[in-house]
Amino acid sequence: MAAVQRLTLAAALAAVTIIGAFGSANAAEQPVKIVVLGDSISAGHGLPADAALPARLAAALKAKGDAVTVVNAGVSGDTASGGFGRLDWSVPAGTDAVILELGANDALRGIDPKLTEKALDGILNRLDQRHISVLLAGMKAPRNMGPDYVRQFDAIYPALASTHRVVFYPFILDGVATDSKLNQGDGIHPNAAGVDVIVARMLPQVEALIARVRAARGS
């Protein structure tokens, strides 16, 4: 009888082990929730909702078989300080990763680069405290702001990437900026074709972000 009981107990423990293993696998495979915290580039200024960057990014990821949800937390006209101020309600509990795309309006308004860097640093520190993985999307200052301002502003993002554990995409408008075919009439905001170029170019970094989330779940 005791032998039977030991056998039953061993079987039960084995079943629990198997269930636990499957539970871990299922957790690792659950959809990754990404919030795009940004300005009008993310919000999709001048575009229908399904042509905005977060929507096009979600479509591209799903086409590749990635289980994701991508939330648009872009606010047109927002600055880095504005994003810091609304961070906790724009990035709700349950968020796995953030694509941080802020700073363009700071440069357009000539805001002191030190203030922009301080706000972005605050956002990154807060997300790190919340154990949320980050893709930092860089920005460059308009060249007409003068060489000193351009030098100080352009240095913000590489500096932050070197001090924070982020996936880094150096310039959100890479391949799009100054190309009239890829921008709306204002010459600032990408059109639908421009958004698709952004998505295609940054997709490897976004996939690295997703891999980082899944690795953390499995650890």
Instruction: Please give the positions annotated as active site.
Output: 40, 186, 189
Half-sphere exposure (Cβ direction) of 214: Cα atoms closer than 13 Å: 16
DSSP-assigned letter for residue 99: E
Residue identified by tokens 């299922």 is 26
Dihedral over alpha carbons 16, 21, 25, 28 (to 10 degrees) = 90
| Rounded Cα gap, residues 160 and 94, in angstroms | 25
CA atoms 139, 109, 85, 34: torsion sign: negative
Q: How does DSSP classify residue 105?
A: H
